[in-house]
Amino acid sequence: MSTTSELHDPVTIGVVSISDRASTGVYEDKGIPALQDWLGRALKNPITWQPRLIPDERETIAATLRELVDEVKCDLVLTTGGTGPALRDVTPEATMDVADKEMPGFGEQMRQISLNFVPTAILSRQVAVIRGKTLIINLPGQPKSIAETLQGLPHAERPVHGIFAAVPYCIDLIGGPYLECNDEFTKAWRPKTAVKPQRG
């Protein structure tokens, strides 16, 4: 008898927290647990996690992203941290270093969501790219902001879509696994022709 998880495509997800201080043990990293918590609740798919905690070094970040995509074969890689204007914030540059294609809509929407909370959202420089058959997205550094940008503001007077609504279909288009969301937590959007029958 099949379990519910066996009905869904397995997915390998890289979660990368980028912080000089957390990577050296000055304080506890909160980025990786926040990403795993949100995605674990959002997806029905069985997930193989590939966590990495690294410093704000452009070459190290780029090498880590290449490893997760080219060697580990992650379907999705999410980074957190290092996207502001400070001198040590180089995550977007490192992400662009490994890109085959840029996906600017993700960064635009993340800033739009965050502007509902703080005017300094315009200082964020998150980017999203495709490398091979993998989608790589830079997220903010704070757990609350991670959840807000992924989920959006579904209950606002004027609801705002979170960026994750577009992630499953993007992964479809680049040849990845079929991601299925727990609709009571967050919903993915696909055109009707791309929707497969519910599998539990």
Give 94's contacts (C-beta < 8 A, 6+ positions apart): 58, 59, 61, 62, 65
Give 154's contacts (C-beta < 8 A, 6+ positions apart): 160, 162
pLDDT in tens, 25-81: 778 899 999 999 999 999 999 999 999 999 999 999 999 999 999 999 999 999 999
Rounded Cα distance, 96 and 6, in Å: 35
Q: What confidence tier does 21 reach under pLDDT thresholds 50, 70, 90?
A: confident
Considering only CA atoms, which of 146, 78, 79 is closest in space to residue 113?
146
Give 3's contacts (C-beta < 8 A, 6+ positions apart): none
Q: Give 4 or 196, the one with higher predicted confidence.
A: 196
Q: Mean pLDDT, the chain, as a whole number?
A: 93
Between CA 124 and CA 120, with CA 144 as vertex, the angle to 5 degrees is 30
C-beta separation of 141 from 80 below 8 A: yes
As beta bridge partners, residue 78 has 15, 137
Please state the pTM of the whole predicted model.
0.94
Unique residue bearing structure tokens 């990368």: 16
pLDDT in tens, 124-182: 999 999 999 999 999 998 999 999 999 998 777 778 889 999 999 999 999 999 999 99
CB hemisphere CA count around 190 (13 angstroms) = 18
Phi and psi at 145, nearest 5°, equal -70, -35
For 4-192, which CATH superfamily applies?
MoaB/Mog-like domain (3.40.980.10)
- Domain range list for the chain: 4-192
